Amino acid sequence: MQTFTEKYDLLGCIQCGRCTGGCPVTVRADLNVRQFVNDAYDEDKLEELAKLAEIWDCTACHTCAVRCPKGLKPLEVLIGLRTMIVESGKVEPTVRDALQSVLLEGNPWEKSRATRSDWMEGLDVRIADPDEPVENLFFVCCTIAYDPRVRAVAQNMVKLLNKAGVDYAFLPEDESCCGSEVLTLGEEGLFEMQVEDNTEYLNEFKAERIVTLSPHCFTTYKTHYPDLKTPVVHYTQLLVDLLNDGKLSWKGELPKKIVYHDPCYLGKQGGIYDEPRELLKSIPGAELVEFERRRERSLCCEGGGGKMWVESESKKERLSDTRIKDAKELGAEIVAVACPFCVLTLEDSMKGLGYEEEMRVAEIMELLGELMET
């Protein structure tokens, strides 16, 4: 067995502190990831470290990994410590229930597998069949499939694809969670099983590409599924191609000031910064403005890293609140995102701050859905 030090290459660290220096949660929590990288070198100390509450503050935004000059992924040390807790079974009940739901029902939302495709009701959706080759195979994501707030992302996508005459198919209800949050919650064994099962399942289909709706699925498939045969793209990439081929056209106008929030999993981890902006720029009448902290420096919304199931103890301002206040300062009327978690966290803050009258948080597909010619 690899030691902790070997597994995370702890000896590679030069203790420069760039990781902690860029970590967005340091403004509201006690997390000092550099210190963990330093201390975890002492194997005798690991159990003690794993008990520190801060290990659950990390949002897996990957800023530390992007900034580390030695190419380390400091956050993985925190996840490794979470694994120790998960394997002892003594996790928060919310985390326990989410993980168990992934095992039993294939999603972390404690929903029944049989209802996974309910979002398709009333829509003319083409369903994938392993015997029928297809160009674009769509992977929906648990959150988009089950959460009524973001279902429109998938529903509008179906309408758009039908209209544009794209060769596509959606996976049937036996689609299962990609494991993004299972991985960051530290349930290593379950994640390994998911990678095995999903690889086998997805490899049965003959597709030119797998199109993911959530950047969490996108990054997870791209970085953690070495044996997946089919290349994976994010939907914004496909739509920009369609746009450039003249297959998408919008009716009416949306004369609003829109600011785009780079989701960590799409930008910092997926390297996709321009496609969402191109889509927004294509909207007639829209004015695209930019946050000061954007692209690689984008502020995390705190929705990743399993934080949907772990409440922060910190009473200091949420990063999503900071983000919405920044948007307000810019005079933005719409905060556009391309991630279901960002929609949920940012909208929560927008409502909490009482900006409902003058501001809106929307997934790009929601905006495009309203502009589609039907």
Ligand X SMILES: Cc1cc2nc3c(=O)[nH]c(=O)nc-3n(C[C@H](O)[C@H](O)[C@H](O)COP(=O)(O)OP(=O)(O)OC[C@H]3O[C@@H](n4cnc5c(N)ncnc54)[C@H](O)[C@@H]3O)c2cc1C
Interaction site with ligand X (CB under 6 A): 14-16
Q: Decide: 157 and 365 in contact? Cβ < 8 Å.
A: yes
Q: Is 19 in the site for ligand SF4 (CB under 6 A)?
A: yes
* CB of 111 vs other proteins, minimal distance in Å: 6
Residue-wise over 245-283: b if at least 16 C-beta within 10 A, else e?
eeebebeeebebebbbbbbbbbbbbbebbebbbebbebb
Q: Does 243 bind other proteins (CB under 8 A)?
A: no
Interface residue with other proteins among 25, 91, 279, 334 (CB under 8 A) is 91
Residue 1 in the binding site for other proteins (CB under 8 A)? no
Query: Is residue 112 involved in binding other proteins (CB under 8 A)?
Result: yes
**Choice between 15 and 223, CB closer to ligand X:** 15
Phi, psi for 211 (deg, rounded to 5): -105, 120
Taking the C-alpha atoms of residue 19 and residue 23, their distance in angstroms, rounded to an integer, is: 6
Map residue 216 onto helix, strand or coil: helix
* Alpha helices by DSSP H, 113-233: 142-146, 152-164, 180-185, 188-203, 215-224
Q: Closest Cα to residue 185, out of 105, 301, 79?
A: 79
Task: Give the nearer residue to ligand SF4 in terms of CB position, either 19 or 140.
Answer: 19
- The nearer residue to ligand SF4, 63 or 107, going by C-beta atoms, is 63
Considering beta carbons, is residue 280 or 342 the nearer one to ligand SF4? 342
Shortest distance, position 121 Cβ to ligand X, whole Å = 58
- Does residue number 189 form part of the binding site for other proteins (CB under 8 A)? yes
- Under rule CB under 8 A, residue 122 binds other proteins: no
Q: Which does 96 bind (CB under 5 to 8 A by kind): ligand SF4, ligand X, other proteins, none?
A: other proteins
Q: Which does 201 bind (CB under 5 to 8 A by kind): other proteins, ligand SF4, ligand X, none?
A: none
40 binds ligand SF4 (CB under 6 A): no
d(CA 24, CA 209) in angstroms, rounded, equals 34
Name the residue nearer to ligand SF4 (CB basis): 33 or 128.
33
CA separation (Å) from 300 to 40, 145, 360? Answer: 25, 23, 18
For other proteins, which residue of 2, 114, 292, 315 counts as binding (CB under 8 A)?
114
d(CA 15, CA 18): 8
C-beta of residue 345 within 8 angstroms of C-beta of residue 302: yes
Per the DSSP assignment, residues forming a β-bridge with 212 are 139, 234
Output 15 or 115, the one with its CB closest to other proteins.
Answer: 115
3-state secondary structure of 131: coil
In angstroms, what is the minimal distance from the CB of 306 to ligand SF4?
11
Candidates 49-57, 96-104, 306-314, 329-337 — which segment interacts with other proteins by CB under 8 A?
96-104
Determine, following the binding rule CB under 8 A, whether residue 105 of this chain makes contact with other proteins: yes
Q: Establish if 180 lies at the interface with ligand SF4 (CB under 6 A).
A: no
Contacts of 357 (CB under 8 A, 6+ apart): none
b/e per residue, 345-365, with b = 16+ CB within 10 A? bbbbbbeeeebeeebbbbbbb
Establish if 75 lies at the interface with ligand SF4 (CB under 6 A). Answer: yes
Binding mask 341-360 for other proteins (x = CB under 8 A): --------------------
How would you classify the pairing of strands 232-234 and 257-260? unpaired
Question: Residue 363's binding partner, choosing from other proteins, ligand SF4, ligand X, none, with beta-carbon cut-off 5 to 8 A by kind?
Answer: none
User: For other proteins, which is the closer residue by CB, 94 or 314?
Assistant: 94
Residue 268: both structure tokens together: 């910092």
Position 99 contacts other proteins (CB under 8 A): yes
